[in-house]
Amino acid sequence: MYPLDINRIACIGAGFVGGPLGAVIASKCSSVQVTVVDKDPARIHAWNSESLPLHELQLAEIISDIREHAEKSTECVKSRLIFSTDIQTAVQKAQLIFLCIDTPTRTSGPGSGFAPDLGNLKRAIEAIARTATDDKILVAKSTVPSGTSQVIRMLFEQHCRPDVKCEVLSNPEFLSEGTAIHDLLYPNRVVIGSQQTVSGKDAARKLAGVYQAWVPPSRIIFTDSLSAELGKLAANAMLAQRVSNINTLGTICEATGARIESVSQICGLDPRIGPHMLKASLGWGGGCFQKDILSLVNATRKLGLDQIASYWESVVWMNEHHKLNFQKRLVSCMGGSIKGRSITVLGFAFKKGTSDTKNSPAISLIRGLLACQAQVIIYDPMVPAKQIITDLHLTPGELERTTISHSPYSACSGANAVVVATDWDNFLCELSRNDEAQPLNWEHILKVMQEPKFIFDGRNILDCDFIRKLGGRYVRVGSPSEWDQLPVASL
């Protein structure tokens, strides 16, 4: 058992990590007050409204439970969970500060295209250091290169008052978008990296005291900061590599007639390989995989280990190649040209359960379809039209050929082809429906489509026989189709 010595926490950054993390801590630790701060007033306003800035299962319920409880409470505490732009007050009050600041890949300067941009993180630490009037525990949640905790400590010491001290912990977040609350509530591990000094280990135990309110102690791993930081990058790089591995095998299956599901099952039942991240798709996306692999490549190259850097970089290239391959296959199945053809893309988020579109494979797919002069209609149940337009960076000519639809049925009306780009449950066929989701009426979709009625399943979620019975020309990832121009190899 670790003591719960902490009762005032701040989360700096109200994004995908800070918001859900703050909400879960506030819901699980009744003696702790959590303030989540962000410099963006619009984002804070959204957190304080009924329409939260991000979609995550159970998030709205957790927050409204905390607020309801606060309303009924006779305590003078307004709420155990506050969203605010007032970083100064939050920092001054907090004993422990989670740094949940985004670290996107740098687009200029040294390490451009690879290294994460730590600018926002550094500015936040300087602001925290200048504001702090007593000792603080800073907890780095953002995914950062190995060695960043040390940089944070030095930066804090440069800018803080002489009588103020800090301990920096590395506590990387492993949550996946779409299952953020579940992952936070039931983490398979909580990694706490600290300096291996008495005060470092003491700070680590204080953080463990917070998690202990809902995480079994056996899942809390104590280590040094360098290992915690590298461990997070390594886990993401290995996961992304697995999806790329299975996607290359899917392409082999398309050409040979072997079944990708069987190959996944054969590998997945081997306990040394395991069942996760073995679903072939049109490519992986999201905010973490690419960024973290590139950061690992950057750090490895700086160590002079060029071959190892190139090895990991090839996982990113392979994903780019795979996304392009999916698009080329679509064009080739449709007779070699899609000029003037109407193609509907169902799904724009990088995976189901989230409205996040970062590096979504749908983006490069749609850009490729437009480059081939197709008309593109896009539907996603969660992603706002404005976001889709921002992500696509369209020329005026491309914009004219792009429509964002609010209904899957009007999106597919008149389409020559429909591409399933995101694995949303409600895109499933009635025959294989998940009980909680309202499935799409594919019968209606096939009726309102125009010949040749291609369905390209980039997520392998549809029922092949059902779509074929309805008159659709069904093409899925990892299986050959009669419309592929490549002949099935005779081995």
Q: Which residues are annotated as a binding site for substrate?
A: 174-177, 232, 285, 351
Q: Which candidate, 477, 374, 468, places its Cα nearest to that of 421? A: 477
Among 185, 277, 464, 488, binds ligand UDX (CB under 6 A): 277
Task: Please list every residue from 155 through 174 that binds ligand UDX, using CB under 6 A.
Answer: 173-174
How far apart are the C-alpha atoms of 191 and 211, rounded to whole Å? 11
d(CA 32, CA 419): 47
What stretches of 7-155 adopt beta strand conformation (E)? 8-12, 33-37, 81-84, 96-99, 136-140
Q: Which stretch binds ligand UDX (CB under 6 A): 118-126, 281-289, 307-315, 479-487?
A: 281-289
Minimum CB–partner distance for residue 335 and ligand UDX (Å): 28
Burial class (CB in 10 A: 0-12, 13-18, 19+), 232: buried
Among 22-30, 85-93, 119-127, 283-291, which window interacts with ligand UDX (CB under 6 A)?
Answer: 283-291
Q: Which of 141, 279, 453, 473 binds ligand UDX (CB under 6 A)?
A: 279
Pick from 12, 21, 152, 239 the residue near ligand UDX by CB under 6 A. Answer: 239
Is residue 357 near ligand UDX by the rule CB under 6 A? no
Residues binding ligand UDX: what is the number (CB under 6 A)?
19
Smaller CB separation from ligand UDX, 204 or 420: 420
* Phi and psi based region of residue 31 (left: phi greater than 0; alpha: psi -120 to 50; beta: remaining): alpha
Query: 454 has which bridge partners?
Result: 417, 473
- Which has the closest alpha carbon to 2: 210, 197, 224, 221? 210
First to last CA, the chain: 61
Query: What separation in angstroms does the CA of 141 have from each of 71, 75, 169?
Result: 31, 31, 9
Residue 280 amino acid letter: A
Query: Is 229 one of the binding residues for ligand UDX (CB under 6 A)?
Result: no
Q: Backbone dihedral region of 460: left (phi > 0), alpha (psi from -120 to 50 degrees) or beta?
A: left
Inter-residue contact 226 to 198 (CB < 8 Å): no
Which residues carry out catalysis?
288
Tell me which residue has tokens 């996306």: 285
Which residue has the CB atom at the shortest distance from ligand UDX?
Answer: 286
Which region, judged by CB under 6 A, interacts with ligand UDX, from 24-32, 110-118, 274-282, 319-327?
274-282
- Beta carbons within 8 Å of 232's beta carbon, 6+ residues apart: 143, 172, 173, 174, 191, 292
Specify whether the backbone of 255 is left (phi greater than 0), alpha (psi in -120 to 50) or beta: alpha
Applying CB under 6 A, the span of 35-43, 272-280, 295-303, 435-443 interacting with ligand UDX comes to 272-280
| Contact of 486 with 333, CB cutoff 8 Å | no
Nearer Cβ to ligand UDX, position 156 or 424? 424
User: Which parts of 289-328 interact with ligand UDX (CB under 6 A)?
Assistant: 289
Q: Which of 54, 243, 363, 455 binds ligand UDX (CB under 6 A)?
A: 243
The yes or no reply on residue 284 touching ligand UDX (CB under 6 A) is: yes
Q: Which residue reads 């009007």 in tokens?
A: 410
CB of 480 vs ligand UDX, minimal distance in Å: 20
Q: Which residues are annotated as a binding site for NAD(+)?
A: 38, 43, 103, 143, 177, 291
By CB under 6 A, residue 288 contacts ligand UDX: yes
User: Which among 26-34, 43-51, 277-285, 430-438 is the span making contact with ligand UDX, rule CB under 6 A?
Assistant: 277-285
Q: Contact with ligand UDX (CB under 6 A): which of 145, 286, 408, 472?
A: 286
Residue 11, Cβ density class (10 Å: 0-12 exposed, 13-18 middle, ≥19 buried): buried
Shortest distance in whole angstroms from residue 361 CB to ligand UDX: 7
Q: Which is nearer to ligand UDX, 136 or 351 (CB)?
A: 351
If the CB atoms of residues 60 and 234 are measured against ligand UDX, the closer one turns out to be 234
Q: Are 16 and 54 in contact (CB under 8 A)?
A: yes
- Looking at the Cβ atoms of 22 and 187, the one nearer to ligand UDX is 187
Burial, 133: exposed, middle or buried (Cβ in 10 Å; 0-12, 13-18, 19+)? exposed
Rank residues 160 and 215 by Cβ distance to ligand UDX and give the closer one: 215
Which residues belong to the annotated binding site?
A: 38, 43, 103, 143, 174-177, 232, 285, 291, 351
Residue in 241, 210, 243, 16 with CA at minimum distance from that of residue 97: 210
Residues 170-199 that bind ligand UDX (CB under 6 A): 173-177
Nearer to ligand UDX, 238 or 489 (CB): 238
Residue 474 found at the interface with ligand UDX (CB under 6 A) = no
Cβ 238 to ligand UDX shortest distance, Å = 10
42-68 burial, b if ≥16 CB within 10 A, otherwise e? ebbebbeeeebbbbbebbeebbeebee
When asked if residue 278 is in the footprint of ligand UDX (CB under 6 A), the reply is yes
Instruction: Rule CB under 6 A: choose which of 236, 290, 327, 342 binds ligand UDX.
Output: 236
Question: Which residues are at the interface with ligand UDX (CB under 6 A)?
Answer: 173-177, 236, 239, 243, 277-279, 281, 284-286, 288-289, 350-351
